[in-house]
């Protein structure tokens, strides 16, 4: 049996009434943040959103990356930064564009990352997790720090050289020594808490937890309270620095001192 012939739609101009409407600036009322994030990072967006107040919007695009955590795989992302940033809200408001990889920024170079983003979005401010983290630590008066990472040793060596080159002193080092990105996303918050307590319960000014793939938000407030000193994480610092660069001075309680300054 043949299907019935399709019905011809009536002239829509005769039945659809055009409704009056007006326009505003769109969704974000305080700040619009663009994010270049790794294709396999399932942590960064929910973490950053947790640290943002109402009225600050996050828009992301994902950059190709390797599952393997090596210095070479991190450096290979450089060639795709500009193209990835260019596709974040083309023609729409963006106040800041952030690069969402802490170790990648250190392997590529923070100045290079900034230049690659600026090539796509010359009118916006930029930051990255390690620039934001060090800026935040200095704002909180921290110079002698403990550093917790999930990285293997070749990446950790890059991290140590970069951080000390920015005038910070690393007094305690600790790492989960993982070799894949997906494993990093699955480290439990309790593991992060225990490692942070063991590392920073020493003669240091504060603790830096490096990597946007680590789920720090569930424990950062408790960790800071129990240590009695500042705790700064990659995603917390990104949220704080991006807001401040965008002119948003909102303070967010419950996730560490940094978000209140």
DSSP 176-210: ----BHHHHHTS-HHHHHHHHHHHHSSS-SEEEE-
Give the total number of structural domains in the chain. 2
Shared domain check, 176 and 96: no
Same domain for 58 and 100, yes or no, is: yes
Both 229 and 243 in one domain: the answer is no
In a domain, 114, yes or no: yes
CA atoms within 13 A on the CB side of 221: 10
**In this predicted structure, what is the pLDDT of residue 27?**
74
Specify if 15 maps to a domain.
no
Q: Are residues 113 and 140 in the same domain?
A: no
The residue whose two tokens read 């951080």 is: 163
- Same-domain pairing of 70 and 138: no
Is residue 24 very low, low, confident or very high in pLDDT (cuts 50, 70, 90)?
confident
Percent of the chain with pLDDT over 90: 90
Mean of the per-residue pLDDT values for the chain?
Answer: 95
> Which range of residues forms the domain containing residue 174?
132-233
The answer to whether residue 95 sits within a structural domain is yes
Q: Are 138 and 98 in the same domain?
A: no
Residue 257, both tokens: 């001192």
Count of all residues that appear for the chain in the document: 261
For residue 39, is it within any domain? yes
Query: What span, in angstroms and rounded, lies between the C-alpha atoms of 218 and 47?
Result: 9
Q: pLDDT at residue 15 above 60?
A: yes
- In a shared domain, residues 228 and 140: yes
Q: How confident is the model at residue 113 (pLDDT cuts 50, 70, 90)?
A: very high
Q: How confident is the model at residue 180 (pLDDT cuts 50, 70, 90)?
A: very high
Question: In Å, what is the CA distance from 93 to each residue of 32, 178, 199?
Answer: 7, 38, 41
Residue 256 in this model has a pLDDT that exceeds 60? yes
The reply to whether 185 and 62 lie within a common domain is no
The CATH number that applies at residue 62 is 3.40.50.12500
Tell me whether residue 5 is in a domain: no
């Amino acid at each position: 049996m043949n299907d019935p012939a399709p019905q011809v739609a009536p002239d829509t101009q005769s039945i659809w009434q055009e409704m009056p409407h007006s326009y505003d600036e769109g969704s974000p009322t305080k700040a619009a943040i663009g994010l270049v994030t790794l294709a396999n990072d399932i942590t960064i967006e929910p973490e950053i959103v947790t640290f943002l107040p109402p009225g600050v919007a996050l828009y992301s695009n994902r950059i190709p990356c390797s599952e393997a955590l090596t210095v070479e795989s991190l450096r290979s992302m450089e060639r795709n930064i500009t193209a990835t940033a260019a596709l974040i809200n083309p023609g729409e408001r963006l106040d800041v564009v952030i690069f969402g990889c802490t170790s990648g920024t250190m392997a590529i170079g923070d100045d290079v990352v900034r230049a690659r983003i600026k090539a796509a979005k010359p009118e916006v401010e930029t930051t990255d997790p390690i620039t934001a983290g060090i800026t935040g630590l200095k704002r909180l008066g921290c110079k002698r720090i403990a550093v917790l990472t999930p990285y293997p040793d070749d990446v950790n060596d890059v991290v140590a050289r970069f951080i000390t080159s920015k005038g910070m002193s690393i007094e305690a080092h600790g790492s989960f020594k993982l070799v894949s990105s997906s494993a990093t996303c699955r480290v439990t918050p309790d593991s992060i808490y225990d490692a942070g307590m063991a590392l920073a319960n020493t003669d240091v000014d504060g603790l830096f937890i490096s990597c946007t793939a680590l789920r720090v938000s569930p424990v950062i407030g408790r960790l800071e309270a129990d240590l009695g000193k500042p705790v700064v994480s990659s995603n917390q610092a990104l949220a704080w620095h991006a807001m401040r660069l965008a002119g948003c001075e909102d303070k967010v309680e419950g996730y560490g001192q940094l978000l209140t300054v």
